[in-house]
Amino acid sequence: MCELHEGKIVSNTIRWLAHGPNCDVMTYEGYMVNGCSCHTKSHDDHRTVQNSGIMLVATTMQVFSVKDKNPVIGDMSFYGIIEDIWEVSYNTFNIVLFKCKWVENKTGVRTDDLHFTLVDLSRIGHSLDSFIIATHGKQVSYVSDPVDPRWSIVVMPPQKDFPYKCANNDLGHNNPTPYTESNPLLNTNKVIKFG
């Protein structure tokens, strides 16, 4: 639905964005995003399976030296770890954000001779750009490099595509599944106030 404002049509979504988010932010240790169960690093520290690795492909302006007068616009991959998961409310809709620690791209990311991407998770950068919209990220895992343990190999999980959806009765139980796209996986009931 749109409203007329000074002769111009303004959508309700734009109107709510202009008002800003609710000052109370829900935080979670886990959330289902793009069919993947994503967790915070603190949650993964107590688990065998790692779900806090994240990758973002962003279009950026790249310069190759200080004297470079011809910057190039191109896609660049950023690798990191999810530190916090925030759900920001704009009253009529919510946006899920990941607060991440990103690996510094210049000295913290490299490609080996076998074309594997390696990251040094101790080289943190991009601290002013720690938040991403959750649906923009892709889940990755990091496996310690057996040759040099300072580096971790980036592993992309296989795409989850389940063409056949079965009812709970088909699985032999009637318990509803706790994993849904719209509801958080784990609620820590922690509220952050800002504003």
The pLDDT tens digits along the chain (195 residues) read 555 657 778 888 888 888 888 888 999 999 998 888 999 999 999 888 889 999 999 998 887 777 878 888 989 999 999 999 999 998 888 999 999 999 999 999 999 989 999 999 999 999 889 999 999 999 999 999 999 999 999 999 876 665 555 444 444 443 333 333 444 444 445 555 555
Q: How many other CB atoms sit within 10 Å of the CB of residue 80?
A: 26
pLDDT of residue 69: 82
- Rounded to two decimals, what is the model's pTM? 0.74
d(CA 54, CA 94): 21
User: Mapping DSSP to helix (H, G, I), strand (E, B) and coil, where does residue 66 land?
Assistant: coil
Distances (CA, A) of 1 to 5, 18, 107: 13, 16, 49
